[in-house]
Structure 1
């Protein structure tokens, strides 16, 4: 089968496209012929060697995708050949075929097509646990989201608006700011300027920060007893934080890894159904994804790293 792989860590130039052996499934796995693969910043970190990646020769990146089951293991009872499934936490996804544990294969409802599922899978499940497990905001509370028009930001902001939370945020361009406002966000500030930060200090119950380098800013934006939900480093590593300073204002930093919330088939089913319901009700709308051929994976990585993307970047075998 064809795959996007690399043999050493580094920039996008280390990526190669070519033939590798097709996976052989175990009795508890299904073999998925992949339609779309999600590309994420975590894949950039893995390629650079700064984030955990499963051992494999050669390295194969990617953890999420959507496709059709073409083979099932002897002990698989939940899925059937011909079903379309989403997976968000399965390694070696940058390939034409992926072996997926049965409990990690999420069946799609009829109203959610493959491209949409691939566009919302990891970011949507991430937004779900950020909002419902960490943020736990009450209707009427004010929250702030950095990078509000990114993959997670678009879904998270609309999820919170649907939950009757008052949402504000920052974005890097006028186009991205307008996009967030069209989704019911109250106000969006330019992320490349900081003059507005002083006027908003202490105004928010929660700041959702997936940028990383803005962590100190997010702490300034929240009120006493407020919390920062930290979920990524798309803009660089955060500064070191003094816990004593946090204690003096009763501020908290909450963080988590989605994998710790997807602990069973039942958890995946419950969380994915909650996510899909927002889309089925028309409460969340996302930008069209940017789709690259898997063979053009190097260009896709470079496109994501530039920060020019609005919404999801997908690879198509």
Structure 2
């Protein structure tokens, strides 16, 4: 198989593209020939050596993708050869062939095309988890999303708007601001302007995937408000004083998506809810940036630059 791999941790220059042995499947596995592979910030952290990475010689990054089943384990009766599946939590995804445990495969409605399905896999299920497991906002609530023009931010904003929530956001450039406004958000602030002073205590919930902005996020929510902390794209957050939160009746909500995607049924139920937003037209997916898997270095550099909007997909070139 063809794969994007690395032998040492470091910047994007450690990535190599070449031929490696095909994965071997067990009786409860599927062998999936990938078409599109999702790139995420977690992949950057794994490449740098600062995030958990499954052992492999050499290292193969990536955890999500979409493709076609080309082989089936002897105990699998619920899938068929040639079926199209999505997966979001399977290691060694940066390859033309991936061993996918049966319970980790997600069926995709025929009305959703490959690019759309691959673009909303992990980030869409993350948005669903943030909205429906952690925040649980009510109709009319006022929320703010840091990084609203990013992959999770765009999907989360549209999901919340469809649920009747008033959504504002923060982004870094005028171009990204226009993207966010077109989603139906009420207001979008530029990160480096002085907007925050006028918005303190205004929101019921703030979604923070940046990390270093966590103190600001708590300033932005009012009493009895909550901050949903789900990532560190901008760096580690400073320590939060729990006594101050207690005195203002403010809550910190956080969690790990993998504590909720614990079975085939959980994956299918949650993905069905996510797909329903797309099929109903409530979520419109921005066209992804697609680069060949062989150009993985460029893809990593683009994501790290902060200049990308929406999803970056790696195309394996092996799908037929």
Q: Place the TM-score, normalised by the shorter chain, in its bin.
A: over 0.9
TM-score (norm 1): 0.99
**C-alpha deviation, 1:142, in angstroms:** 0.3
> 1:120-153: per-residue Cα shift (whole Å, max 9, x none)?
0000000000000000000000000000010000
Alpha-carbon RMSD across the aligned residues, in angstroms, is 0.7
Q: Which residue of 1 aligns with 2:4?
A: 4
Indicate whether 1:82 and 2:82 are aligned: yes
Indicate whether 1:227 and 2:234 are aligned: no
Matches within 5 A, 1:143-222: 143-193=143-193, 195-222=194-221
**C-alpha deviation, 1:114, in angstroms:** 1.3
Distance 1:49 1:224 in 2: 39
**C-alpha deviation, 1:250, in angstroms:** 1.4
What residue ranges of structure 1 are gaps of 5+ in the alignment? none
Q: Which residue of 2 aligns with 1:23?
A: 23
- The alignment partner of 2:17 has SS state of strand
Distance 1:316 1:69 in 2: 16
> 1:172-208: per-residue Cα shift (whole Å, max 9, x none)?
1111111111111000000122x11111111111000
- The alignment partner of 1:9 has SS state of coil
Q: Which residue of 1 aligns with 2:313?
A: 314
Matches within 5 A, 1:99-110: 99-110=99-110
**C-alpha deviation, 1:286, in angstroms:** 2.0
- The alignment partner of 1:23 has SS state of coil
Matches within 5 A, 1:234-249: 234-249=233-248
Distance 1:113 1:29 in 2: 24
Runs (4 or more) in structure 1 with deviation over 3 Å come to none
- The alignment partner of 2:70 has SS state of strand
What residue ranges of structure 2 are gaps of 5+ in the alignment? none
Distance 1:19 1:205 in 2: 51
- The alignment partner of 1:24 has SS state of coil
> 1:3-31: per-residue Cα shift (whole Å, max 9, x none)?
00111111111111111110010000000
**C-alpha deviation, 1:243, in angstroms:** 1.3
Distance 1:3 1:299 in 2: 15
Distance 1:192 1:86 in 2: 38
Q: How many residues align?
A: 316
**C-alpha deviation, 1:162, in angstroms:** 0.1
Q: Which residue of 1 aligns with 2:293?
A: 294
TM-score (norm 2): 0.98
- The alignment partner of 2:244 has SS state of helix
Distance 1:235 1:255 in 2: 17
Indicate whether 1:260 and 2:262 are aligned: no
**C-alpha deviation, 1:212, in angstroms:** 1.1
